[in-house]
A = this chain, B = another copy of it.
């Protein structure tokens, strides 16, 4: 239990649990968050639309992910009081501002996936 943590470390130190980067990573780290944000990039979508568009997501995880995004102010949920219910989700300004860094990551993935797969092949066989 030797605490290396000196009580006055800067809050952005990524090794502290309360740091922004850590919190963001905890949010986008899960399997679905980034996919949902991406699916909302083009504009508002209905619940069923998202479920159909994001291959493999279960109702449970889609709902859970949308709630978490809504809670963090990244997604706005609008309920239209009609029958049958119509619920639309769209990115907030904050949510849209996340698209740029996410896009950079996607760009990296596309540009470098071949190298990564090749390295994996080498590692497993060599």
Contact = CB atoms under 8 A, between A and B. Distances in A.
B20 A38 contact: no
Contacts of A104: 100-101, 104-105
B1 A111 contact: yes
Given A104-B104, A119-B72, A110 B34 contact: no
Copy number in this complex?
2
Interface in A8-27: 12, 14-17, 20-26
A82 interface: no
Interface of A: 1-2, 4-5, 12, 14-17, 20-26, 28-31, 34-35, 38, 52-56, 70-74, 94, 97-98, 100-102, 104-120, 122-124
A84 to B, nearest CB: 21
A109 B31 contact: no
B100 A112 contact: no
A122 B101 CA distance: 25
A104 to B, nearest CB: 4
The 8 closest A-B pairs by CB, nearest first: A73-B119, A20-B113, A24-B109, A15-B55, A20-B109, A101-B104, A71-B123, A101-B105
12 contacts: A4-B113, A20-B112, A21-B34, A29-B31, A71-B120, A73-B115, A73-B116, A73-B122, A73-B123, A94-B115, A100-B104, A101-B107
